[in-house]
């Protein structure tokens, strides 16, 4: 009989992990504090959408569930910037044919839970974990049930109950840090059953210290998200009346305002939510381990929250297989190897907010993008832009972060030259020299 594995949290990461571990022959069960979303109709609420890309797709293929998910994806080939006059500018995400995919979180979660059940995983909803004993591997649920397992995996998100218990064990490092911005979701309805904006792009209204974005949904709506400071002027605290909200959108997001006739109703009905980064270490204790947001919750600005969680699943299973499923070896090694990559994507995600809300509309940024695309054209193997390393490759995040810093250094140097004076061979030589010196 193979080991009994208990997964806490039937979110995206937990459900996918369950599918794969069940396929490997383990006795897998998931405990989820919420009700079954397929019955409670969570998918019928507001649409939260995510951007699925390479690192997320790969483990979905490993699990054999990608084909089932593909029909629900809407490709986004790049950023479509909206300036204050409503003029549009397109920035591709990568090379021709490279794109990210807008997908509904609720839809994807339901498909993954379904896949887990089809694979033979038992999913227990309405099971809130009340306590965990890290010595005896015993889980205690709030309604009295107990469960002993060979391995406990906490995939219960940014406010993980398992991590909360770890936090009060000795020598557990932990931080939670909120940024000064919150967000609010707003919906653009279709018109005569067609999208109101071009669907195959991630739309951005960059406005310096704040921004609006819009991602397409399969039902031809767009989910807009306003990322905006809680305090200061303007901020959530200064938009007190419907007139305030409309005047603000009139000034900064005129073309979006026209697409949301019930803007101020939505604004005051939908919640204002906060954005947190959490870090902790170690991720494991004895036979328990955290994966995904439970281990490393990040801000959403690189579109890597789910993708990094899915990559956790792939790397964890690959290492486990390599170490012949010896959990006592796997858990500490996985944690210590993966930690630096989680820290790196955490940093990249915070930084990308500044890029999205501010730099994308900046002439210097555009010159840099142009220089970079020319370097890449001449040296497609030697020079992969940072965004592409993060989004379209398996290069460890920490390596991508390091290389991205060197690329920035090289570009800073060559941006001082006139465009006609740039020698691309020299650029790549300089980059290679910096990499070696590192």
User: 39 to 58, contacts with its own copies by CB under 8 A?
Assistant: none
CB of 414 to its own copies, least distance (A): 33
Q: Which of residues 143-162 bind its own copies (CB under 8 A)?
A: 159
Which among 14-22, 168-176, 318-326, 397-405 is the span making contact with its own copies, rule CB under 8 A? 168-176
> Which segments of 327-383 does DSSP mark as H helices, in order?
327-357, 363-378
178 binds its own copies (CB under 8 A): yes
Distance CA(76)–CA(91), nearest Å, equals 11
How are beta strands 222-229 and 273-281 bridged, if at all? unpaired
**By CB under 8 A, residue 170 contacts its own copies:** yes
CB of 15 to its own copies, least distance (A): 25
To its own copies, the closest distance from the beta carbon of 183 in angstroms equals: 13
Three-state SS at 32: coil
Under rule CB under 8 A, residue 96 binds its own copies? no
CB of 276 to its own copies, least distance (A): 8
Binder of its own copies out of 2, 89, 145, 174 (CB under 8 A):
174
Site of tokens 């400071």: 229
Q: Six-digit token pair at 134?
A: 């890290």
Binds its own copies by CB under 8 A, chosen from 72, 172, 268, 365: 172
Residue span binding its own copies (CB under 8 A) among the ranges 95-103, 171-179, 218-226, 234-242: 171-179
Nearer to its own copies, 143 or 171 (CB): 171
The answer to whether residue 175 forms part of the interface with its own copies (CB under 8 A) is yes
Supply angle C-alpha 242, 244, 248, rounded to 5: 120
Note whether 230 binds its own copies by CB under 8 A: yes
- Please name which of 96, 69, 105, 104 lies closest in space to residue 388, comparing C-alpha atoms: 96
Residue 50 C-beta: closest distance to its own copies, Å = 22
> What SS3 state is found at 51?
strand
> Closest Cα to residue 290, out of 165, 156, 170?
156
Residue with tokens 């951005």: 204
Q: Of 96, 173, 416, 425, which one interacts with its own copies (CB under 8 A)?
A: 173
Q: Which of 171, 381, 418, 436 binds its own copies (CB under 8 A)?
A: 171
**Residues pairing with 400 in the sheet:** none
Applying CB under 8 A, does 336 fall inside the site for its own copies? no
Question: Do 203 and 197 contact (CB within 8 A), yes or no?
Answer: yes
176 binds its own copies (CB under 8 A): yes
- Residue 274, interface with its own copies (CB under 8 A)? yes
89 counts as binding its own copies under rule CB under 8 A: no
Neighbours of 208 (CB within 10 A): 12
In angstroms, the CA 409 to CA 416 distance is 12
In the complex with its own copies, the residue whose CB is nearer, 261 or 271, is 271
Q: Which of 226, 221, 215 is nearest to 188 (CA)?
A: 221
Burial of 103 (0-12, 13-18, 19+ CB in 10 A): buried
Residue numbers at the binding site for its own copies (CB under 8 A): 159, 167-168, 170-178, 230, 274
């Amino acid at each position: 009989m193979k080991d009994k594995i208990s997964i806490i949290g039937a979110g995206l990461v937990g459900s996918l992990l369950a599918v794969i571990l069940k396929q490997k022959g383990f006795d897998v069960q998931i405990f989820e504090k919420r009700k079954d979303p397929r019955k409670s109709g969570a998918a019928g609420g507001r649409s939260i959408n995510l951007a699925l890309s390479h690192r997320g797709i790969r483990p979905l293929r490993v699990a054999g569930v990608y084909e089932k998910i593909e029909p629900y994806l809407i490709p986004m080939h790049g950023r479509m910037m909206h300036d204050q006059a409503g003029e549009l500018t397109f920035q591709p995400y990568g090379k021709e044919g490279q794109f990210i995919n807008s997908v509904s979180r609720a839809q994807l979660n339901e498909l993954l839970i379904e896949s887990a059940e089809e694979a033979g995983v038992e999913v227990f909803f309405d099971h809130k974990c009340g306590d965990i004993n890290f010595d005896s591997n015993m889980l205690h649920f709030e309604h009295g049930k107990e469960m002993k397992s060979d391995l406990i995996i906490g995939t219960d998100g940014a406010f993980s109950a398992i991590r909360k218990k770890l936090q009060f064990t000795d020598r557990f490092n932990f931080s939670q840090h909120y940024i000064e911005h919150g967000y609010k979701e707003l919906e653009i309805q279709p018109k005569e059953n067609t999208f109101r904006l071009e669907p195959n792009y991630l739309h951005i209204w960059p406005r310096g210290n704040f921004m609006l974005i819009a991602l397409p949904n399969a039902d031809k709506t767009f989910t807009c998200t306003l990322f905006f400071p809680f305090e200061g002027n303007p901020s959530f605290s200064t938009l007190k009346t419907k007139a305030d909200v409309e005047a603000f959108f009139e000034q900064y997001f005129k073309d979006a305002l026209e697409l949301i006739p019930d803007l101020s109703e939505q604004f005051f009905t939908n919640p204002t939510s906060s954005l947190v980064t959490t870090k902790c270490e170690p991720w494991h204790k004895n036979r328990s381990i955290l994966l995904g947001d439970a281990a490393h919750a990040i801000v959403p600005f690189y579109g890597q929250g789910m993708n990094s969680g899915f990559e956790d699943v792939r790397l964890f299973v690959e290492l486990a297989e390599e170490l012949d499923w010896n959990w006592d070896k796997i858990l500490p090694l996985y944690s210590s190897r993966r930690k630096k990559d989680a820290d790196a994507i955490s940093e990249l995600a915070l930084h990308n907010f500044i890029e999205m809300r501010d730099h994308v509309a900046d002439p210097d940024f555009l010159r840099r993008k142009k220089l970079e695309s020319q370097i890449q054209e001449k040296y497609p193997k030697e020079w992969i832009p940072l965004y592409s390393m993060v989004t379209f490759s398996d290069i460890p995040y920490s390596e991508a972060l390091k290389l991205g810093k060197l690329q920035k250094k090289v570009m800073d140097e060559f941006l001082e030259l006139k465009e006609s004076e740039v020698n691309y061979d020299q650029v790549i030589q300089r980059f290679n020299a910096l990499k070696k010196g590192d």
